[in-house]
Structure 1
């Protein structure tokens, strides 16, 4: 009922937008996720590969199935192909996907995941550095960001109160949150290249359910994320929040 009331309250703010699916070269039967726009004619995305295993055997080494692909615009459509170029590096032993650049474009964050011996999917955030025109191999962030037994995933880069402070936002199911997947953040110190211990974004943003796919719009300093619990207009509803964090505003 509350979700219906949200829809009624927002009816005067609705903007009609036409959405067109991309062709079969990109959108296939398997899941496609996490697009990252590189230019008007190119973007990076993640998908489940055609050669992925049909079943996961917990007594065998994990065989990754999700990898970065590159989509390029042609005269008629978009074409997708598996990419191997840095920094969009596909790991040999882990699922790979959901990446974002730092504000200065000198770091690229990505997510790598595996299934543990109990059948739980665990993801960690990795970073590559651009030095003299060359990208380094992805390295897992330290314990200030990644928790060894819980997921840290879906990185997004933005600011917090002070626009000179770069902040890494991500989702995690670690203890200390409101429940499910919460949005957490870690402030990056450019001088010593260290990340402060991650903090939960708080109850004005996080609910007992899952918050997913955070995105930060730098020009407006607005944070956008999807919510899967509470009053919603459908199974997945996007909310936007601005600098002085308060309750999320329905998009």
Structure 2
């Protein structure tokens, strides 16, 4: 272990770690059980409301979601997960942005199916979005790109995301080179290898923690114009 890393005097007992997700105990915004009627207007309004409530309560990066894709490079398909930020929400699905040549980008090119999970432990809530992805239109990517800070735009150009790099110094030098390249450019263009994806769900599951691990789970299944809502056992 590097000398700069802190050490713990006592190792945590992982088997003994647990949280009582009782609604009254966790002080959630809604004090009632998750109910099918909460989805009368569809899945998107409820997800949006939960995102807004997580934001209002000061949850760090409430739009963070764990994105799982499928890797087909080995002898058998295997899941690969990482955290990304949701940067768009509509009745069509959730939108995120990345390098098309990154691991997730190449995996989505080979198999467009993906799953995303929002987790807000402080609220005792999760939402799982599962379905097929597609690239968003260039004008959608452009609008989001225009909202990004200059440093983030430079970073997108500087990083060959997911590829190996010899050292941190080499990565920093790449940023120096890109900064110099665009020094006289006010509007840095969108890299041709970068853009957005829409995860268009065929299934959205809402999870609300409850005491004794008898959690509330309600799943919305979408098949074209047909939608069904079912309660799942925890």
TM-score, with normalisation over the residues of structure 2? 0.24
Q: Which has the higher contact order (CA 8 A, sep 6+)?
A: 2
Structure having the higher Rg: 2
**Structure with higher helix content:** 2
Between Structure 1 and Structure 2, the one with more strand by share is 1
